[in-house]
Amino acid sequence: MRRPGAIATDAPRFGWHFREAQQAFEIELRDADRKEVLAGSGKVLAADCAFVSLPGLQLAPRTAYSWRVRCWNALGEASQWAEAEFETGFLQMDEWRAQWIEPVQSPVVPEISVDARAAAMGDYPIVPPEERLHPPQMIRQSFLVGQEIGRARLYITAHGLFEILINGRAITDEIFAPGYDAHPHRLSVHTYPVTEFLHVGLNAIGITLADGWWAGRTSFSGDSANYGNRLGVTWQIEIDGEVVATGDETAVAAQGPTRYADIFIGEKHDARDEIPGWASAHFDASGWTPVEVKPRDVTGLVPFIGEPVRRVMEFAPAEVRRTPNGELLIDLGQNIAGRLRIGANGPAGTEIIFEHSETLDAEGNFIKNIMGRNKDQTDIWILAGGGDETFEPRFTYHGFRYVRVSGYPGKLIAANVTAVVIASDLDSSGSFEVDHWGIHRLHQNVVWSQRSNFLSIPTDCPQRERAGWTGDIQLFAPAATNNMLVHQFLSRWLENVRAAQAPDGRIPLIVPDTPSFARMMPFASQAAAGWSDAIAIVPLVLFDRYGDLRPVADNYAAMTAWLGHARRLAMDGIPERYLGEPEDSPARERQRHLWNTGFQFGDWLAPSTVSADPMSMWNAARLTGGIVGSIFYYRTTEAVRRAAGLLGDVAAEAELGQRAAAIRQAFSSEFIGPEGRLDTALQGPLVLALAFGLIPEGSRAACSAQLVELVEAADFHLDTGFLSLPFLLDVLVEIGRKDLAYRILLQDTAPSWLYEIAKGATTIWEDWRMIGADGSPRPLSFNHYAFGAVDDWLYRHVAGIQSVEPGYKRVVLAPDPDSPFGHVRARLETPIGPIAVALDRDADALSGTVEIPANMRADLRLADGRLQPLAAGKTSFSLAVE
Ligand code: RAM
C-alpha cells in the first residue's frame, strides 16, 4: 500500500522501486521521530524489492514508525535513503477498554422472505419504508482534555455504519465504515488520527449510526436484521497514552433529520429537522436520551486491513432532460455505483424524489430494471427552505445511470448535479488502450464494473444482490489484478472467507454469508464447484500476480479443509444411472474420483442454455453440473497440490499428485467418448477441460476439433458461461485458432461483447441480451464483472504482458503480431515496477517499444517464437507480419 492507514500486522513487509539494477539493499525501521533505529536488515545482497520482511521484527500496537531503505547499484554505489511513515492499529483486542453503547431504540424489525420467487419478482405486500424503517441514531458525548495534545487516535467499530464528527468537524473522508465483514465472526476496528480535531478543554464527539449491512436490508432476499437488530458503537480515543472511551461518560442520543437510511432501499432526509451544532462541545443536549451502556465485548473485533471506501470520483451528468412521457430525467452517461449530490432552492417542505435505474425502456422512458423486495434505490429529500441547499445521502449507494426526479422546484440543470462514485479506494495499476472503439470501450466497461463491485467486498452487482459471490471473484480475480492493486482488498476478503468457512470445510456460496439467503434458497447452504473453490484459486492468483506467498500460506489450511469437503461429496455421491452397477465395477469405482452429483451451478449462464424464462438459468447447472463439478474438483486438487509444493508440505504434495492423476483418469473414462470427444457437446466444458489439461494427449486433436465445430455451429459466437469464459480465447489460441479468438472477440451480434457496446453498455452485463434487438431491456443486472474477465486476455495476449515467474519476476513480452489492432498502449504496475507496451502496425510489420524496470528479467518474443532478452528501459522492435 502506498499510503497505508493504520496497518493490521505486527510484522509488515516492505517494498520499493529502485531505478537502477539493484545489487543490495538495506532497510531500517525507526521510531516516528527518526531518533532511534529499532530494527535493521543490514546490507542484504539481493535484488528483492517487494514483500521484504525484517527478520524477527515485532511491532508494538498503536504506534507510529518510520522506515527507510537504500539500494546499491551494479557499481556498488549506495543510493540516498528513501523514507516513509506508517503506524500500527489496534492489534491486541484484550487491550480494548471501551464498552458498547446503544441508543434506546426499537429494534429493527426482521423482514423475512421465505418465498424466493415472490421476493425476486417483487410479489409481496408493500409497506412504505417510512413505516418499517427506523431513523439513524445520533449519539454525542463530551469529554475534557486536560493538557496539550501530542498524538491522538480514535479506534472505533459499530453495529451499523458510522459517521463521525469531532467538535462539529468530519474527521475522515472514509465512508461506509466499518465495512462489510463475515459477521458475527468479524467486525473491523478502524483507526483515525484525530490530533488536530481536539483541543484543551471540553470536546465533543458525535456519531451517527445507520442500519448498514449489520441490521439493514441486504443480499438477494433483501431481508433485514441479518446480523443484529440493534445499532451500537464502541470507541476509544487515546491521547498520549490517556484513554477516553464509550462508557466513561454518559453519552446521549437523538434522532435527527434522516427518517431512514438503508443501503438497498435508499435514504429519506428532512432538512427541516437538521440539528445545527449537535456535535460541538457546548451544544445543549438536554432533550436527548441517555444511551444504554453494555458490557465490553471484543468478540470478533479485528483490525481493519486494506483500503477504506471513499468517494473515488465525481463528475457532472451527461444530460438532464425530459423523457418522451414528460418525466424529468438525469442521465449520467455512465452506469456507476454511487449516488448523487444535488443542489436546490425552494420552499420549506418541498419533497424531491430520486429514483435510480440502470436503463430506460425501448421508448426512452424511465423504468426500474432491478426487481425484488427492498431494492427501491430511491432517495427522498425534503427542503428546509430559504436558500441554496445541497443533499447527498450518506448511508446508501445505488447501481444506476438514470435518475427520475420528481418534485424538483424550478428548473433542474446539470450544473446542480454531481455523480458521486463510491468504491474501495484502490490504487489503479494498469491501463489498456486500443484504436478499436468497441474494444477500447469494452476495457473501460470492465474497469467500471470492477470499480462498481469492489466496494468493501467483491460483489456480483451493485444493485440487486451486492453479495460476495465466491464464484464471480474466483473467475475475475486475474483480470482484477491488472486494473487495480487488489492484494490487500482480496486478502481481507479471504480472511472473511476463512471466518465464514463451516466446521466441515464447506465454503459458502457468498461471503459474507447471510442467514436470510440460507432461509430463502434451499441450495444456499450447499457448496458449488467454481464458487467454493475461490478459497484455493484466489490465493494462488495473488501469488502469481504479486509474487507474495503469504496469501497461500494464510489460506492453506482453509483450502485443504475445503478440498476435504469436496472430496467427501465426490466420494459419497453416485449418479443415479450407476446405482444398479456392481460396487466393484470400474464405472462405480471411478465415481469416487468425480464430483458429479449434488448441487451445482455448472457453467452458469452459458448463452445457449438460457432463454427468456428466468428459471432457464438452471439449465446450465443441469447440463454441465456433473462435468464442470469434476473439472473444478480436479483444478482445486491441483491448486492445493501446488500450494503444498510451494509451502514445502512434501507429503501432501505427493498425495494430491496421485489424487489428481486418479481424477484425470476417471474424467477420461467418464466424459470422453469413443471418438475422443466430450459427451457434453458444449463450448464451456471443452474449454475448461482443454485449459486445465484434463484431455489426454490422444484426444486433444478430437476435442480441439469439436470445440472448433461448436464455435462454427454457433456462427462464431461464444457459448461460454461464468466459469469457462476466462479461458475461451486462450484455448483457441493454444489449439492454433487465433483467428477464431479474434472473430469471437470482434463478433457484434449477441452473445458478444461488442453487441453490448453497440447497445450502449457502459458496464459489463450479467446477461448478453440485457437489451434486446428491439431495444427492450431485461430486468437483470447491467453491472456484473464476470463476463469482463476477457480483459485479462487483452493485457496478456494483445499487449502481450505475461508473468512467467510469480510476481513478474520473469516476464515475457509477447505482443501478438497478428492482432487486428493498429495501435495498442498498455501499462502495468508490477511489484518490481511498471511495464509499458506501445504497438503500432503498418502493412508489413508490428513495431513499437516495450519498457521494463531495472530489476526485471524480461524477454521479447519475436515473430518466429524466439526469445530476445530485454535490457532495462525502453527497447524498440519491429516484428514482421506475414
Ligand atoms: C446470481 C448472482 C451471481 C452468481 C449466482 C450464481 O444470482 O448474480 O453473479 O454467482 O447467481
Q: pLDDT digits over 187-226, tens only?
A: 999 999 999 999 999 999 999 999 999 999 998 888 999 9
Q: How far is the CA of 509 from the centre of ligand 1 (A)?
A: 9
- pLDDT higher than 90, residue 153: yes
Average pLDDT over residues 76-88: 97
* Catalytic site includes residue 697: no
Is-contact 584 574, C-beta < 8 A? no
Q: How far is the CA of 460 from the centre of ligand 1 (A)?
A: 7
Q: How far is the CA of 656 from the centre of ligand 1 (A)?
A: 30
Residue bearing the CA closest to ligand 1, atom 2? 460
Average pLDDT over residues 590-616: 95
- pLDDT higher than 90, residue 863: no
Which atom, in ligand 1's list, is nearest to the CA of 220?
Answer: 7
Give the angle 46-51-54 at the CA atoms, nearest 5°: 70
Please name every residue paired with 157 in a beta bridge, in sequence order, or none if there are none.
234
- Tell me, what DSSP letter sits at residue 507? P
800 CB neighbour count, 10 Å cutoff: 22
Catalytic one of 111, 495, 766, 851: 766
User: Domain 312-424: which topology?
Assistant: Jelly Rolls (2.60.120)
Cell numbers placing 221:
432476499
Distance from chain centroid for Cα 586: 44
Distance from chain centroid for Cα 351: 35
pTM of this structure: 0.97
What is the predicted pLDDT for the residue at 595?
A: 98
Is-contact 239 133, C-beta < 8 A? no
What is the predicted pLDDT for the residue at 17?
A: 94
Residue bearing the CA closest to ligand 1, atom 5? 469
Cell numbers placing 179:
465495512
Please name every residue paired with 270 in a beta bridge, in sequence order, or none if there are none.
382
- pLDDT higher than 90, residue 459: yes
605 CB neighbour count, 10 Å cutoff: 25
At the top level of CATH, the class of 13-87 is mainly beta
Burial class of residue 542, CB neighbours in 10 A (0-12, 13-18, 19+): buried
- pLDDT higher than 90, residue 3: no
Closest CA to 560 of 647, 477, 689: 647
Burial class of residue 348, CB neighbours in 10 A (0-12, 13-18, 19+): exposed
Is-contact 410 282, C-beta < 8 A? no
Please name every residue paired with 606 in a beta bridge, in sequence order, or none if there are none.
none
Q: How far is the CA of 532 from the centre of ligand 1 (A)?
A: 13
Helix (H) or strand (E) holding 813: strand 810-813
Is-contact 796 367, C-beta < 8 A? no
Percent of the chain with pLDDT over 90: 93
What is the predicted pLDDT for the residue at 148?
A: 96
Concatenated DSSP letters of 185-221: T-EEEEEEE-GGG--SEEEEEEEEEE-HHHHS-BTTT
Which atom, in ligand 1's list, is nearest to the CA of 604?
Answer: 6
- pLDDT higher than 80, residue 292: yes
- pLDDT higher than 80, residue 114: no
Residues with Cβ within 8 Å of 38's Cβ and at least 6 positions away in sequence, in order, are 29, 30, 31, 65
Q: How far is the CA of 786 from the centre of ligand 1 (A)?
A: 10
- pLDDT higher than 90, residue 521: no
Question: Is the preceding omega at residue 184 within 30 degrees of 0, hence cis?
Answer: yes
Which atom, in ligand 1's list, is nearest to the CA of 472?
Answer: 10
The C-alpha torsion from 568 through 571 and 572 to 577, rounded to 10°, is 150
Closest CA to 500 of 485, 518, 484, 522: 518
Average pLDDT over residues 681-693: 98
Q: Is 396 helix (H, G, I), strand (E, B) or coil?
A: coil
What is the predicted pLDDT for the residue at 844?
A: 86
Q: Which CATH number fits domain 96-306: 2.60.450.10, 2.60.120.260, 1.10.1740.10, 1.10.10.10?
A: 2.60.120.260
Pocket test for ligand 1, best of 452, 509, 604, 619 (most atoms within 8 A of CB): 604
Q: How far is the CA of 217 from the centre of ligand 1 (A)?
A: 18
Catalytic one of 238, 465, 495, 670: 465
* Catalytic site includes residue 26: no
Look at the block and give the residue holding cell 458449488: 528
Q: pLDDT digits over 262-272, tens only?
A: 999 999 999 99
Average pLDDT over residues 450-466: 98
Q: How far is the CA of 751 from the centre of ligand 1 (A)?
A: 18
Residues with CB under 6 A from ligand 1: 460-461, 465, 469, 471-472, 601, 604, 784
Closest CA to 357 of 794, 810, 780, 818: 780
Pocket test for ligand 1, best of 465, 521, 767 (most atoms within 8 A of CB): 465
Question: Can you give the three-state secondary structure of 231-254, one letter per residue?
Answer: CEEEEEEEECCEEEEECCECCEEE
Average pLDDT over residues 622-646: 98
Cα 599 to Cα 346, 524, 573, 595, distances in angstroms: 56, 10, 11, 10
Q: How far is the CA of 359 from the centre of ligand 1 (A)?
A: 20
Residue bearing the CA closest to ligand 1, atom 8? 460
Sorted by where each begins, the domain ranges of the chain are 13-87, 96-306, 312-424, 430-798, 808-880
Backbone angles phi, psi at 681, to 5 degrees: -85, 75
Decide yes or no: CATH 2.40.30.20 for domain 430-798. Answer: no
Which atom, in ligand 1's list, is nearest to the CA of 528?
Answer: 6
Which atom, in ligand 1's list, is nearest to the CA of 471?
Answer: 10
- 802/799 Cα distance (integer angstroms): 9
Is-contact 859 803, C-beta < 8 A? no
Which atom, in ligand 1's list, is nearest to the CA of 781?
Answer: 8
Cell numbers placing 175:
465512508
Which atom, in ligand 1's list, is nearest to the CA of 464?
Answer: 8
Residues with Cβ within 8 Å of 291's Cβ and at least 6 positions away in sequence, in order, are 101, 102, 103, 104, 139, 250, 251, 252, 253
User: Domain 808-880: which topology?
Assistant: Maltose phosphorylase, domain 3 (2.60.420)
What is the predicted pLDDT for the residue at 471?
A: 98
Backbone angles phi, psi at 777, to 5 degrees: -85, 155
What strands lie across the sheet with 37-40, from one edge to the other?
Answer: 6-7, 82-88, 64-72, 24-31, 37-40
- 707/582 Cα distance (integer angstroms): 35
What is the predicted pLDDT for the residue at 879?
A: 87
- Residue with more model confidence, 426 or 118: 426
- Residue with more model confidence, 460 or 126: 460
Q: pLDDT digits over 799-839, tens only?
A: 999 999 999 999 999 999 999 999 999 999 999 999 999 99
Is-contact 265 396, C-beta < 8 A? yes
Domains 13-87 and 312-424 share a fold: no
Cα 182 to Cα 111, 300, 558, 794, distances in angstroms: 20, 9, 15, 34
Pocket test for ligand 1, best of 460, 523, 628, 770 (most atoms within 8 A of CB): 460
Q: How far is the CA of 518 from the centre of ligand 1 (A)?
A: 14
Residue bearing the CA closest to ligand 1, atom 9? 460
Backbone angles phi, psi at 743, to 5 degrees: -65, -40
Q: pLDDT digits over 10-60, tens only?
A: 999 999 999 999 999 999 999 999 999 999 999 999 999 999 999 989 999
Closest CA to 704 of 669, 745, 740, 674: 740
- pLDDT higher than 70, residue 122: no
